[in-house]
Amino acid sequence: MTLAAQWAAGQIPFLSNQEKVKHLGLQLWSVRDDMAANAEQTLKALANMGYKEVEGFGFEQGKMFKMQLTDFIKILKNNGLKMHSTHFNLSVQDLNESNGTLSDRAKKALDDLAEAGVRYAICPWIGEADRAQPQKLVSLCQAAGQYAQKAGIGFGYHNHDFEFTTKGADGRMVYEWLLQEVDPALMTLELDLYWVVYAGQNPVEWFRRYPGRFRLCHVKDMAKTPARQTVEVGDGSINFTEIFKERRLAGLEYFIVELEHYATTPMQGVKRARENFRKIRIA
C-alpha cells in the first residue's frame, strides 16, 4: 500500500499541527482595546500565551499603535514576537489613474514596512464606492503589487463577505475580478475563512479554482446561532479540518487567529482560540 493510500485509510496519524504549522499568529484587532490601553503589556501577555507572531493593523504615517514603527518592532522583538504581515489602509483614491501609479502616501507606507522587515502588506477593506468600481480596484491592486515588489515586500488583499455578494457590470463577483485580473505574481490573497463561509461560499472550492493563490488566512469560527457571530476557533460551526486538508493546494503558510466577539474577555478569548487551534487535525 502506498503512503498516500495508508494516509487515506487512516493508518498514518496526522502529525501535531505544532509541527505542521510553522506560522501561527494573532491579528491584533482581536485585542484592540487592550493594545490601546497598554500595547507593551498586551504583547508580553500574548507572548506568554505562546504566540510567536502577530499581525498588525492601522499602520499610518509611519506609526502603529501611536508609536513609531521602529519602536513597535523593538517591543515585539523584546517579547520574542515577529510581525510578518500587517494591514494598512488603501483605497481607489491612492491610484493615480493617469499613469496607473500609487499615491506618495501608499508608496511611503510600503517602503517603511519593507524596511522594517515586514513580509506582507495587506489591504484589509474597501469602501462601498470602491466596490462598485472593480476595474479601478484591479488597477489599484496591480499598482500596489508592482510597487511593493520593487520595495521588497509582498502585497495582499483581505476579504470580507461583500466581495462574494457584490458584482461588477459583467456579473462577476468582486473576488473573481481580483483573482482573474490582478497578476498572481503581484498579489496574494489573505482568505478570511469566517467571511467566506458567512457569504455562503466553500473555501475549498476557491482553493481548487485558484490553487496557490492564498498565502495567508484568518482563522476565526462562526457561532451556531442566528446571528452567526465570531467565536473562538473550535467552538463554532466551521470545519477547519476539512478546509486545512487542502492547505497545500491553497498555498497556505500563515495562519492568523482572529476574534471579534467575546464570550469572556478578548485576552481570554484569544488564549482559548490558540489552544483550540492546536487541537485541529491538519494534514
Across the chain, which has 283 residues, the per-10-residue mean pLDDT values are 42 51 97 97 98 97 95 98 97 92 97 98 93 93 98 98 91 96 98 98 98 98 97 97 96 97 97 96 82
Domain ranges of the chain: 3-277
What is the average pLDDT score of the chain?
A: 93
Residue 15: Cβ within 10 Å count: 11
Residues 248, 253, 254, CA angle at the centre, nearest 5°?
A: 140
For residue 6, the model assigns a pLDDT of 43
Q: How far is 3 from 209, CA to CA, in rounded Å? A: 26
Q: What is the pLDDT of residues 197-248, one digit of tens each?
A: 999 999 999 999 999 999 999 999 999 999 999 999 999 999 999 999 999 9
Report whether CATH 3.40.5.10 matches the domain 3-277.
no
- Rg of the chain over all Cα atoms, to the nearest angstrom: 19
Nearest residue to 75 (alpha-carbon basis) of 100, 38, 121: 38
d(CA 12, CA 257): 28
Q: Which of 187, 181, 177 is nearest to 90 (CA)?
A: 187
Helices marked H in the chain: 3-8, 17-20, 32-49, 69-78, 104-115, 128-131, 134-151, 162-165, 174-181, 193-198, 203-209, 240-244, 247-250, 266-277
Contacts of 28 (CB under 8 A, 6+ apart): 35, 54, 55, 56, 57
